[in-house]
Amino acid sequence: MATYTPKNTTAILQKLRFFMRSTEVVKSPLQAYIVPSGDAHQSEYLAPCDCRRQHVSGFTGSAGTAVVTEHYAALWTDGRYHMQAEQQLDENWTLMREGVRQRALWYRKRS
């Protein structure tokens, strides 16, 4: 079993959140920013410049979606990657395990 070290994402999330609320960058402040695993062409293999979810969260698995709001960040992934994500996500992130029903109200509880 591989062992992973979490990437510190504090500065990345601060910068992203600054741009999410900056009206010089966006027309009106964004409530959430969704970072999928894929690229614009749905390619099977991603070029390093298209690994946006990995950059923002530190999670290197091939399947997952990150969602960043003003105060919270969460990563959804399936059962193949639960243990890996637990090790790679730092304290800024909440792991949302796909298929676990009690986690479905994450945004409502935190907004």
pLDDT tens string 75-94: 999 999 999 999 999 999 99
Q: How far apart are CA 86 and CA 84, in angstroms?
A: 5
Widest Cα–Cα separation across the chain: 46
Q: How far apart are CA 65 and CA 71, in angstroms?
A: 17
What's the predicted TM-score (pTM) here?
0.85
pLDDT > 90? residue 44: no
Query: 57 pLDDT band (50/70/90 cuts)?
Result: very high
Q: What is the DSSP letter of 110?
A: H
Contacts 24+ apart (CB under 8 A), 98-103: none
